[in-house]
Structure 1
Amino acid sequence: MNSPLVSSWVLTLVCADRVGIVAAVSRFLADRGGFITDSQQYADRAAGLFFMRVAFEATEPLMTSSTDQLRIDFSAVGDAFAMAWRLTATDEKPRMLIAVSKGSHCLADLLHRWQTGTLAVDIMGVASNHPDMRRITEWHGIPYHELPPNGDKPTQEAALLDLFARTRSEYLILARYMQVLSEDLVSKLAGRCVNIHHSFLPGFKGARPYHRAHERGVKLIGATAHFVTADLDEGPIIEQAVERVDHRATADDMIRIGRDIEARVLARAVGWLADRRVLLNGGKTVVFS
């Protein structure tokens, strides 16, 4: 059986900043009949790094090349500039495993966007340390995996990591998974695990941020999607949003408003990951939105 015809790709790259990178990439695509539909780049002068995302389509000469062949061909350019690069067909949806505890708002939003075709990912399953989210997950036709009970973190995390590997997932999305991951698990999933924190980081890290925000009388509350690192709620930030509140807002009001923000922020972050728009830059990210 012939492989389906691929007609568009996304190339992302990071390398030391120097003259000629854009020219080399453009020349590579032009020589193969690639038509650039979107190109964004950023030079971090302080770090001496160059970041680029290029979306391109096939014209007739390119249509005979497979994605694998394009990768082989581009490796010469990548080696010449010591790039960390990735070339993917636009129909290669990233495989994602979602972890959740009892809160449904972020999970339900992601499942709805996925089912309606507005979130271009393959959801490989939902893992949870509670049974509560089984019904909504299975209603969407997604496998639900209940992890070992709380209290045995090594066994629970081993099961989560095994599920991540068996489903060949690219990202683990913590959609209000209310467990602090061990340094060992975080290390194994470095750059591949994303959390939604119910606060506008770096303020109010850790537990019960809305209650602490209420005690301080804040006028803005928010949410932050970030990569998970061993330092709690300190990972590279992908997306944030805020809403105004005033002195009348109770802690419960803030929680209600915050749930809507959390769902929107996490969905945007997952969507940008799906589009290959997020590149790590040390303790920060470059997001080509």
Structure 2
Amino acid sequence: MVSSSHEALHRIFQQEPGLFARAARHLGVAFPPPLSASELSTDLTETRPLERRVDTLLRMETEDGSFVLAVESQSAPSVDKPASWAYYLSHVYAKYGIPPVLLVVCPDRKTAAWAAQQFDIGPRQWPSLTLRPLVLGPNDVPVIDSPDEAARDIPLTILSAALHRCEPEADAILNALAKALKSLSADDETTAGTFIELTEQGLGTSRAADLWRHLMAVDLSFFQSQTAQKLRQEGREEGRAEGQANALLLLLHHRGVEVTDGDRERIESCDDLDVLDLWLTRAIAATSMTEVFAPAGETSGTAD
């Protein structure tokens, strides 16, 4: 039962709203006196289902104790997000009684800079709630372009690739990651396949995504795997000669095979998907365009 003293300590402000500003001065906080005040319903119970979902929520146990990690992927600044994030953290704390931490992962510097600011919720004189997200953006995750370093922490390398996907370093990161996954696949193809898929998702629709798909589809260590066959089949099912031509040119560039203007024109003008697929298969191991363009049936030393 709520005591009368409890009632008095808050109802006095209903009776005299201006008391708040006067009393707050004793705390060293200057609020202006209210021009008007109106009572709102004190019932904050949700009367209808309201779906609120954090992207990822993890209970973390450490030697220093437990905390709940809420992870949000944020692609652009949003004026509504700070309120949602504050709700997530308050709800998690009320539900589990464990300190929450908010991590926001941003794929571009502008969004990361916005998310990294301190969000004060409340009037400027005394914000009642301060939101301080931890933020990971392109400036916060290193470029991992060494196969050895990539092999030591493949998940971090995947995050590096996703956050630097639109930058010049993306190709080097993906090359290092491909080599690291090649070693992993020998022991655990299922895990390697999961990492391949996560990488592709993280790259989105960037140019780097095209390179990654074909690195995985044509790399000899993955060539016979179900993942590689699926990727190659998806490329075929697009039914677009232009897409196959672009894939071939990307692969040749990745492998360092010299392509003349005439070679490029021949590839881009070809509209025969079977021929393009033959050239793409040969390009896996070819060292020159002569091997790629060899007449059908001629031995060129490339993989089929």
TM range (shorter): under 0.3
TM-score (norm 2): 0.24
Whichever of the two has the greater Rg, that structure is 2
> Of Structure 1 and Structure 2, which has the larger fraction of its residues in strand?
1
Q: TM-score under structure 1 normalisation?
A: 0.25
Q: For CA contacts below 8 A with separation 6 or more, give which structure has more relative contact order.
A: 1
